Structure 1
Amino acid sequence: MSVEKLDRRARRTRQAIQAAFVELVLEKSYESVTIQEVADKADYNRGTFYKHYVGKEELLSEIREGFLRGIREALLRPYKGMEQVDATKIYPSSLKLFEHIEEHKNEFMALLSVHKGISEDLYNTLRISMREDMHMEMEPSDPPLDYELMLSYRLSATVGVIMHWAEMDFKYSANYMADQLLALVNGKIDHIVFKSKP
């Protein structure tokens, strides 16, 4: 059997184990899921599980890393081969970001149920991408914007919107969320009306 066929088979096995694990975590809880249950649900034996993973921690870590790597890839995918893009034309990366989360929402929810630090992981992944993969050129302003503060503000807002979407059980489409995020980022507040007298 060729190495490529073996690799494909190993990939399929790992995907089946991961899908079974995620389903069980969402049904029960991470702590109560056993290796035997994961193997049974994936339709493999325990030996096959241990051939691919040392235990649940390594499995969870691989799911987390794959999910976050996909976030970073999603941001850049629409602009392959481009040197720059106008700020008003970043809809494709916002859409790809939300599509990735929508496509992997079970993994995201499983990760969220195991450790609440996934929002911090998301923030850090976006921050690394914004530092290493791209740079936002800002219009001149008075006072001048501190780049790191601006980045922190925008990334916190993006993660906040993603977390709210998850709390709402992904009731809106990825398209709607991308539209809303861009409107929020590019919109300016006109004025504030006080509901009670200060």
Structure 2
Amino acid sequence: MTQHDRRIDKTQKALKSALIKLMEEKDLPHITVTEIVKKADVNRGTFYKHYEVKEELLEATIQDVIKSLIQAYRHPYLNKERFTIKDLSASKIKLFEHVAANADFYRVIMLHPSVLPGFQNRLCEVLKKLSIQDLKFIPNTGTIDVDLQASYQSHALFGMIFEWVKGGFKYTPEHMAQQLLEILSNQPFSSGYHTMPNK
């Protein structure tokens, strides 16, 4: 990467970060380009070299986060032809590291959903598509509908992320990864019969 490319990346990162910080305070329609460039410590001309409008900046920010999310989600089974839960370890789970690295963004979408309406559903859809892709490589010996299973898994994962963000990131990404691994390894009714406790 050239020095020029690094400057572009640094500028765009500063603008994206500034926008997210402002969105913790107010909705997008009430944020001005002047406020964005002031917080990013760049001039208006620099903003318009990269983006025509603030909505374009927001979409670029969202695309960056989604791309990073997909990479983090897929990390445990990169370059593998077969993968099972037995192959998974907490250290291979990078999803929560991704969330922590984008903490400001996730605080906005989780704690201030009106600021970015509809994005929580969009995020769940991304997770659902990833789950469906995973399930294609897992033999289905029962009659479980893949679409329903993927929906269940994606919303469960979203729920974990939501609770973590709502709790102020009081746990480390490593702890969250270990918790997810234990949940996946100890799913009720995952195999065989279970004795239900008496009421």
TM-score category, normalised to shorter length: 0.7 to 0.9
Question: Mind listing any 5+ residue stretches in structure 2 that lack a counterpart?
Answer: none
TM-score (norm 1): 0.82
How far apart, CA to CA, are the structure 2 residues paired with 1:193 and 1:42?
Answer: 60
Residue 109 of structure 1, aligned match among 107, 110, 123: 107
Closer, same or farther: CA 74–57 of 1 in aligned 2, 3 Å: same
Matches within 5 A, 1:91-170: 91-92=89-90, 95-112=93-110, 113=112, 114-132=115-133, 135-138=136-139, 140-141=141-142, 144-170=143-169
**Residues 103 and 139 from structure 1, CA distance in 2 versus in 1: closer, same or farther, beyond 3 angstroms?**
same
> Secondary structure in 2 aligned to 1:31?
helix
Name the amino acid aligned to 1:158: L
Distance 2:54 2:6 in 1: 22
Which amino acid in structure 2 is aligned with residue 95 of structure 1? I
User: SS of the counterpart of 1:83?
Assistant: coil
SS in 2 for 1:39: helix
Q: Which amino acid aligns with 1:8?
A: R
- Alpha-carbon deviation of 1:154? 1.4
Q: Distance in 2 between matches of 1:136 and 1:183?
A: 22
The offset of 1:133, in angstroms, is: 6.4
Looking at structure 2, the residues matched to 152 and 94 of structure 1 have their Cα atoms a distance apart, in angstroms, of 23
Residue matched to 1:52:
50
Indicate the residue corresponding to 1:178 in structure 2.
177
Structure 1 runs of 4+ with >4 Å offset: none
C-alpha separation in 1, matches of 2:90 and 2:181:
11
The structural deviation recorded for 1:192 is 5.4
CA contact (8 A) 2:75 2:92 kept: no
The offset of 1:94, in angstroms, is: 7.0
Identical residues among aligned pairs (%): 31
Q: Give the Cα–Cα distance (whole angstroms) in 2 for the partners of residues 95 and 6 of structure 1.
A: 34
User: What is the distance in 1 between the residues matched to 2:15 and 2:58?
Assistant: 11
In the TM superposition, what is the alpha-carbon distance from 1:145 to its structure 2 partner? 2.2
Which of 25, 30, 33 aligns to 1:35? It is: 33
Worse-matched range after superposition: 50-59 or 163-172: 163-172
Matches within 5 A, 1:55-74: 55-74=53-72
Report the count of equivalent residues: 190
Q: 1:67 to 1:61 in 2, by over 3 A?
A: same
Give the alignment's TM-score, normalised by structure 2: 0.82
Q: Is the partner of 1:152 in helix, strand or coil? A: helix
Give ranges in structure 1 of 5+ residues lacking alignment.
none
Distance 2:198 2:43 in 1: 63
Which amino acid letter does the alignment assign opposite residue 151 of structure 2?
Answer: S
- The one-letter code of the counterpart of 1:130 is S
Post-superposition CA distance 1:41-88 (Å, at most 9, x none)? 211111111111112211111111111111111122233322122212
Aligned AA (1:38):
I
* Residues 19 and 36, structure 2, Cα contact 8 Å, conserved in 1: yes
Matched residue type, 1:118: F
